[in-house]
Structure 1
Amino acid sequence: MEHEGRDVRQLPKAHLHLHFTGSMRPTTLLDLADKYGVRLPEALTGAEPPKLRATDERGWFRFQRLYDAARSCLREPEDIQRLVREAAEEDIADGSGWLEIQVDPTSYAPRLGGLIPALEIILDAVDSASRETGLGMRVLVAANRMKHPLDARTLARLAVRYADRGVVGFGLSNDERRGMARDFDRAFAIAREGGLLSAPHGGELTGPSSVRDCLDDLDAHRVGHGVRAAEDPRLLRRLAESGVTCEVCPASNVALGVYEKPSDVPLRTLFDAGVPMALGADDPLLFGSRLADQYELVRRHHGFTDAELAELARQSVRGSAAPEEVKEKLLSGVEDWLAA
């Protein structure tokens, strides 16, 4: 095969798994910490991404603590605008033509004047970043499974109310070992009835059963992570047949200790089973790699050919909430990349 090794940054793709604070540039975090006199944990001030392992409770707690420390540096609307614009710029540099950024507005509400103002500030920032950079951008509102399911319902209603302002989906994040998926079934029903995509996290820190719960209890259109489905052949068949996209974040899986090394992430197993995947960066601030790096990882550690990388890019586009004309433009860009 000729030309193996085309530049993955030139490959048009969609980015469906990126958390809001986690998308921050490390240099921006240091700037903002300086601006507000925040003393960051040492793990966030080094040149290297922090050493993380979240497979035990203490490790997850530490990961959350670092995340919260970073979030505490986002205090003013202009900080939010900067974060979103830079996330868009990074994505464009990585070949992304569509970004769905995930946020729990509850976390920003205390500093931004309440839940509704926080969401409006975020949506305005996404709107202007999208206009300024030309990147298609939308928002997934995510509930926190460590909080009460009633909070999730409030968020789902809010998300639906803002569907015409850029909210396309509803998620569920944080430690999947806590809180059963079915506790959040009402919230997800509200979101789905309001026309939003259901995209809960599952199948990263816990096994295939949590992916099954996302399908059975929350009617997931997509699953955040979902990699552990590889351990259950019947579940793989079900995901493939129903066309549920798994938002796979390989660098994050390794950083959190779910898999020991990049070659252990069962990407081939999912791919060969026909499960649609959308590679994502999850939290570049903490994991040290962005979107194109995930494609590079798959090429280097799993031997994916350019044709297979192109298929992964197509799957990311098809799994997105992008309008048809945006999807078509990106998909034809994928063909051009392959033909180059």
Structure 2
Amino acid sequence: MPRPLHMLPKAHLHLHFTGSMRHATLVELARERGVHLPDALQQDWPPKLRATDERGWFRFQRLYDIARSVLRTPEDVRRLLREAAEDEAAEGSRWLEIQVDPSGYAQRFGGLTETLELVLDAAEHAARGAGIGIAVIVAANRTRHPLDARTLARLAGQYAGRGVVGFGLSNDERRGRARDFEHAFRIARRAGLLAVPHGGELLGAASVAECVDDLGADRVGHGVRAAESPHLMERLADRQITCEVCPLSNVGLGVAERPEDVPLRRLFDAGVPIALGADDPLLFGARLLPQYELAREVYGFDDAEIAELARQSIRSSTAPDGVRKELLAEIDAWLAAPPDEPAAG
């Protein structure tokens, strides 16, 4: 009997706010608000996506915008975070860093500041209810002007130490160079926030290098294309810059044809720290636990290696030192217990 993965303590560092919504909640809220859902978000869910061409990314973004449109009240936001926290706890995720772009909801909730404060308050209550830790990453949209990113970086900095732990950069990396957002990341770093831009998903190793060299990335969202460059993998390993690898998202967007093609093993063996993530479960149909199941069943990780993946996620997080120490000890206990008698988490 293999050790049960849902009892392995872990941190989830790559989860987007809207994309964390339960599919059942999307369907229910859409019905209540009279929002028409396309077949891809109903009977054909999860949608078949391929975002490696412009038309495919546009379709992905359209589905995302439809999902965002059903969240209309503060209670919707609270519900989303409450359910996300419950789902995290059920999968053994004990620390969550959820990424949000307040711009997508600012008109609905009274402005950027008001939106962020709503999310932070909802996250605090959700964390308390589920018995896990939750922190927030404010993310800029690389398809918008870099000045917008600076505004968000200043906002994020105002809440550093009050629930916001990092500053990110998301959306189609083909439509906005990382270096164009250097000023925004400088503002965020001065405020003490982690730099966690996306890179190396739809573009290659050079995109990851730009995140590291121009934005001072502490972690890279996705980063799987770093495997195309042994020299870059060596740099990431030497500097212990974590790649937030989301295997089923990579397949869903056509970055990899099959789960077997995601270079998780290559990155791990090269010493690159890894934090497995789900990205957008609402659109890819899988939360965090299936990513760990892939590590065991597809990439051939034994339990000692899976425990190390969980440790890397904890070490790469912004969890307080006491929480990290406790979770690392629980991971050791999970591994030390006989496979048929897992340690209680």
> TM bucket by the smaller chain?
over 0.9
Query: For 1:1-340, what aligned pairs fall within 5 Å after superposition?
Result: 5-46=2-43, 48-340=45-337
Closer, same or farther: CA 311–10 of 1 in aligned 2, 3 Å: same
Counterpart Cα distance in 2 of 1:129 and 1:329? 21
Query: In the TM superposition, what whole-angstrom CA distance separates every residue of 1:40-90 from its partner, at most 9, and x where no partner exists?
Result: 122111263100001111101100000000000011000000000100000
Counterpart Cα distance in 2 of 1:52 and 1:144? 20
Between 36-45 and 141-150, the greater mean CA deviation after superposition: 36-45
Counterpart Cα distance in 2 of 1:231 and 1:308? 23
Identity %: 68
**Deviation at residue 249 of structure 1 after TM alignment:** 0.1
Counterpart Cα distance in 2 of 1:175 and 1:141? 17
Query: In the TM superposition, what whole-angstrom CA distance separates every residue of 1:153-204 from its partner, at most 9, and x where no partner exists?
Result: 0000000101132000000000001111111000000000000000000001
Counterpart Cα distance in 2 of 1:164 and 1:222? 19
**Aligned-partner SS, 1:177:** helix
Counterpart Cα distance in 1 of 2:205 and 2:43? 36
Structure 1 counterpart of 2:273, one-letter code: P
**Aligned-partner SS, 1:165:** coil
**Deviation at residue 113 of structure 1 after TM alignment:** 1.2
Structure 1 counterpart of 2:260, one-letter code: S
**Aligned-partner SS, 1:185:** helix
- Contact conserved, 1:15 with 1:98, CA < 8 A, in 2? yes
Counterpart Cα distance in 2 of 1:124 and 1:46? 34
2:341 is matched with none
Closer, same or farther: CA 335–47 of 1 in aligned 2, 3 Å: farther
- Contact conserved, 2:50 with 2:56, CA < 8 A, in 1? yes
Counterpart Cα distance in 1 of 2:328 and 2:5? 15
**Aligned-partner SS, 2:174:** coil
Counterpart Cα distance in 1 of 2:149 and 2:37? 30
- Contact conserved, 2:11 with 2:317, CA < 8 A, in 1? yes
Counterpart Cα distance in 1 of 2:43 and 2:36? 13
Counterpart Cα distance in 2 of 1:84 and 1:57? 31
Counterpart Cα distance in 2 of 1:81 and 1:24? 11
**Deviation at residue 244 of structure 1 after TM alignment:** 0.2
- Contact conserved, 1:249 with 1:279, CA < 8 A, in 2? yes
Query: In the TM superposition, what whole-angstrom CA distance separates every residue of 1:243-266 from its partner, at most 9, and x where no partner exists?
Result: 000000000001111111011100
Moved over 6 A (4+): none
Normalised to the residue count of structure 1, the TM-score between the two structures is: 0.98
CA RMSD of aligned residues (A): 0.7
- Contact conserved, 2:242 with 2:316, CA < 8 A, in 1? yes
Query: In the TM superposition, what whole-angstrom CA distance separates every residue of 1:20-45 from its partner, at most 9, and x where no partner exists?
Result: 00000000001111121111122111
Between 188-197 and 111-120, the greater mean CA deviation after superposition: 111-120
Counterpart Cα distance in 2 of 1:34 and 1:125? 24
- Contact conserved, 2:39 with 2:45, CA < 8 A, in 1? no
Any stretches of 5+ residues in structure 2 without a counterpart? 338-345
Counterpart Cα distance in 2 of 1:164 and 1:73? 30
Any stretches of 5+ residues in structure 1 without a counterpart? none
Query: In the TM superposition, what whole-angstrom CA distance separates every residue of 1:186-229 from its partner, at most 9, and x where no partner exists?
Result: 00000000000000000010000000000010000000000000
**Aligned-partner SS, 2:173:** coil
Counterpart Cα distance in 2 of 1:65 and 1:88? 26
Counterpart Cα distance in 1 of 2:193 and 2:81? 22
Aligned length: 337
